[in-house]
Chain A
Amino acid sequence: MNVPEDLFYAKSHEWIRPDGETGTVGITDHAQNELTDVVYVELPEIGAQVKAGQQVCVVESVKAASDIYTPVSGTITEVNAALTSDPALINTAPFGEGWIFRIQVKAREEIDALLTPAQYGQEIGG
């Protein structure tokens, strides 16, 4: 399984790519593989204030609906509208075009407390 080196990971299989005050969030390659073909994404609301670990949106595969949690606290600033018409981007490019939302990060320490690529790799048995 692909676990990029430049990201931080949550045990619930989301990743975040910090960029200054904000961070981009998606789900991992391992998660998309477990979910199977994604057919519907219910995006979070822009402007929503969320707490780390809170359920913010839902990704549905053919098989099941899965809750997605934000790895850090903050305000949702942007969502990936492309997923509405092409939800399978989560399967084909989980770390790229399949990103789900951007968040204004409230506390940088929350990012530092997430799993490193090595730790996450161990978590998924890779």
Chain B
Amino acid sequence: MVDFGGWSMPVQYTGILDEHRAVRTDLGVFDISHMGQFFASGPGARAWLNLLLTNNVERLDVGECQYTFLLTEQGGVIDDLIVYRIEESRYMLVVNAAKIEEDFAWMQGHLGPDVEFVNESDSVAGIAVQGPKSAQLFDAFFDGRFSRPARNEILTVTIDEATYYIARTGYTGEDGFEVFCPSDRAVKSWQDILSRGEQFGIKPCGLGARDTLRLEVCYPLNGSDLSSDTTPLEAGLSIFVDLQKPEFIGRAKLTEQREQGVKRRLVPFKMTGKSPPPRSHYPVYKNGVQITESTSGTLSPSLNIGIGMAYIPTEFARIGEEIEIEIRGKRFPAVIEKKPLLRTNGGSA
């Protein structure tokens, strides 16, 4: 068990490799109760969120969601999150555990008119079911009572008088669902999912597999790959930034950066020979000169080779460019690759 944003959480249940494989081939289930949930409602909610978030909230119909960013005035990433439109004038935001307080304080500090904004992180639990057999589990679980939400959609259902939100989202690159429910229903839901999932080979998965799975499909981790010193454009995530919107916090800086071009880009790399697995904060070299350091790294269980990500100066941030990663004083060859490092069937950011 490790401390993760104030939560005591398992790195693994049966083993990172075993859990990773379960998600890629069958099914895995993750406790994501550490993540934060905010609710914004009222006639002013949509316009207000659109001023704080980079993506265009106006594009969301009821029951849809989008990946988006909360930025500083300088365009740096405070957090990356998903905003779900759960009712006509009611939105749920799912944010990173370590950022709950900072995000909430920031948003409260910029609160707009006619918005009720609450932090329900303590009373809402989350469970993610991920893997190619997720849809089969959904059907077996609900036996036709509800129809599956499509990718990036969210369903609101009442089960035993409690409200459950079931979204077709995730952080593994596989098909899957993220379920949010009152925290007093979490244990029962977890046990029900595990027992119904048994026939599909479901395995409980910890933080270790969550990290290897997301890195193979190049989903960024806030605090490692994203920070207030990096912008979504540098991170290669501009499709989640709508610069056509007349205003949002950070827009001016991002517009300037777009015009001038980014000086560095977050790119994935793969080790080209046998080497120790790369990790975050390892020096990265080009032509014998250190150009940056890695932001993430691991051994890819699917590809069986070291993989990672780093902000590389734009002149070298090209697919196929050869770089070197320094590991304990020794340099090992690597190559810049295309995103994602692993192609999956259910990918969405």
B5 at the A interface (CB under 8 A): no
The 4 closest A-B pairs by CB, nearest first: A62-B16, A37-B17, A39-B299, A40-B276
Instruction: List 19 contacting pairs A-B, 8 Å CB cutoff, sorted by A.
Output: A36-B12, A36-B15, A36-B208, A37-B15, A37-B16, A39-B277, A40-B275, A40-B277, A40-B299, A42-B276, A60-B277, A60-B299, A62-B208, A62-B212, A62-B277, A62-B298, A63-B12, A63-B16, A65-B328
User: What is the 8 Å Cβ interface bit string for chain A, positions 69-83, against chain B (1 contact, 0 not)?
Assistant: 000000000000000
The answer to whether B276 touches A63 (Cβ under 8 A) is no
User: A124 to B208, alpha carbons, bound, how many Å?
Assistant: 23
The answer to whether B276 touches A62 (Cβ under 8 A) is no
The answer to whether A36 touches B11 (Cβ under 8 A) is yes
User: A42 to B299, alpha carbons, bound, how many Å?
Assistant: 15
- Compute the total of residue contacts between A and B using a CB distance below 8 Å: 40
B301 at the A interface (CB under 8 A): yes
B279 at the A interface (CB under 8 A): yes
Known: A36-B12, A36-B208. A62 touches B301 (CB 8 A): yes
Smallest CB separation, B20 vs chain A (Å) = 8
In chain B, residues 255-277, which have Cβ atoms closer than 8 Å to a Cβ of chain A?
A: 275-277
For A3, list chain B residues within 8 Å (CB). none
The answer to whether B276 touches A36 (Cβ under 8 A) is no
Number of interface residues of A (CB under 8 A): 12
A114 at the B interface (CB under 8 A): no
Smallest CB separation, B45 vs chain A (Å) = 40
In chain B, residues 278-306, which have Cβ atoms closer than 8 Å to a Cβ of chain A?
A: 279, 298-299, 301
User: What is the 8 Å Cβ interface bit string for chain A, positions 81-105, against chain B (1 contact, 0 not)?
Assistant: 0000000000000000000000000
List chain A positions with a Cβ less than 8 A from chain B: 36-37, 39-40, 42, 58, 60-65
User: A61 to B18, alpha carbons, bound, how many Å?
Assistant: 13
The answer to whether A65 touches B208 (Cβ under 8 A) is no
For A61, list chain B residues within 8 Å (CB). 16
Of all chain A residues, the one with the shortest Cβ separation from B17 is A37
Smallest CB separation, B332 vs chain A (Å) = 11
The answer to whether B328 touches A62 (Cβ under 8 A) is no
Known: A36-B11, A36-B15, A37-B17. A62 touches B299 (CB 8 A): yes
Smallest CB separation, A55 vs chain B (Å) = 11
For B277, list chain A residues within 8 Å (CB). 39-40, 60, 62, 65
User: A61 to B206, alpha carbons, bound, how many Å?
Assistant: 15
For the complex with contacts A60-B277, A63-B208, A65-B328, 15 further pairs of A-B residues with Cβ separation under 8 Å are A36-B12, A37-B16, A37-B17, A40-B275, A40-B276, A40-B299, A42-B328, A58-B276, A60-B276, A62-B16, A62-B17, A62-B301, A63-B11, A65-B276, A65-B279
Of all chain B residues, the one with the shortest Cβ separation from A64 is B279
Smallest CB separation, B233 vs chain A (Å) = 31
User: A64 to B211, alpha carbons, bound, how many Å?
Assistant: 12
User: A60 to B328, alpha carbons, bound, how many Å?
Assistant: 12
User: A37 to B15, alpha carbons, bound, how many Å?
Assistant: 7
Smallest CB separation, A43 vs chain B (Å) = 12
Smallest CB separation, A67 vs chain B (Å) = 10
User: What is the 8 Å Cβ interface bit string for chain B, positions 312-327, against chain A (1 contact, 0 not)?
Assistant: 0000000000000000
